[in-house]
Structure 1
Amino acid sequence: MIRPAVEADESDIRTCAESAYTRYIEAIGKRPAPMDADFAAQIEAGEVHVSAADDGAFQGFIVFFPENGRMFLENVAVMPSAAGKGVGKSLIGFCEDEARRLGLAAVELYTNEKMIENLSIYPRLGYVETGRRTENGFNRVFFEKTLEQP
């Protein structure tokens, strides 16, 4: 089940971000940007959705919003206990469906070049690398997926 995040979800979201991104600190040389996001503001803005198991257990979250005629997928993270179960893929699919619902032509995102797993996951989901550049001290790899409208 995927639903909009509420204020009470912030602690689970922060715990999930810490769990998902801590392993990259050493490779990147600092905390990945998603670990320090203002989740309260993003929840209030309606940009965060959470995935819960049938029993209500928190599984992961995604942050996205429309920007310049496209959906920008800012963050997706899954609890280690839910990893490998399709939760991340479902969250990304949800983002893509919301973009289609809004009539947006594409989803854009970036990941850190040190997050090697992501560099192979996104192409398998239909995303194409569109560039690489350094922003805010992070070496980022940019992806885009053009969406077919129903």
Structure 2
Amino acid sequence: MSATIRPARRGDLSAVQALVEAGFARYVAEIGRRPAPMDHDYAAALSAGHLYVAEADGKIAAVMVTRDLGSFWEIDVLAVDPARQAQGLGGQLLAFAETRARERSAEALQLHTNAAMRAAQAFYRQHGFVTVERRWHKGYDRIFLRKRLA
């Protein structure tokens, strides 16, 4: 499925939050608490120009929060509507982030995910990311992954 990726608008915030809630709900039991993306400040991400949405069939189908860290382009949140899993939307968002990172001459894409979220780790590895570190970060056991662009 092909989606249109665009910067989020103020009117998207409730749909973004609902999608993230639905997308991460299954991980609450695995992690033992709400995953960090469920409590992310999406209004602040939108105001900073870091929030993107993928629209398919006129609806927000996936969400991504990015940050330019100079030599690294960070993907802070990536979420896909559970009803649209395995349709290529996550991969499209990753490709979009890679294009943006290359445009800004970043050396790599980087992201993190909870150590308990093994399916997410496998997904990122399928898209060329490698694990660079595992550590306790902001109250979570996290795996940090990176994809070199140079």
CA positional deviation for 1:68: 4.0
Give the structure 2 partner of residue 36 of structure 1. Answer: 39
Give the structure 1 partner of residue 121 of structure 2. Answer: 119
CA positional deviation for 1:136: 1.9
Task: Pick the aligned partner of 2:111 from 109, 120, 124.
Answer: 109
How many residues are aligned here? 147
Q: Secondary structure at the match of 1:19?
A: helix
TM-score by length of 1: 0.95
Is there any run of 5+ residues in structure 2 with no aligned partner, and where? none
Distance (Å, rounded) in 2 between the aligned partners of 1:102 and 1:68:
8
The answer to whether the aligner puts 1:23 opposite 2:26 as a matched pair is yes
Distance (Å, rounded) in 1 between the aligned partners of 2:40 and 2:30:
20
Is there any run of 5+ residues in structure 1 with no aligned partner, and where? none
Matches for 1:1-150 after TM superposition, within 5 Å? 1-53=4-56, 55-148=57-150
Q: Which aligned segments of 4 or more residues in structure 1 are displaced greater than 6 angstroms?
A: none
Task: Show CA shifts across 1:9-61 (max 9, x none).
Answer: 101110111011111111111110100011001011100110011x3121111
Q: Secondary structure at the match of 2:13?
A: helix
Quote the RMSD (CA, aligned, Å).
0.9
TM-score by length of 2: 0.95
Distance (Å, rounded) in 1 between the aligned partners of 2:99 and 2:82:
25
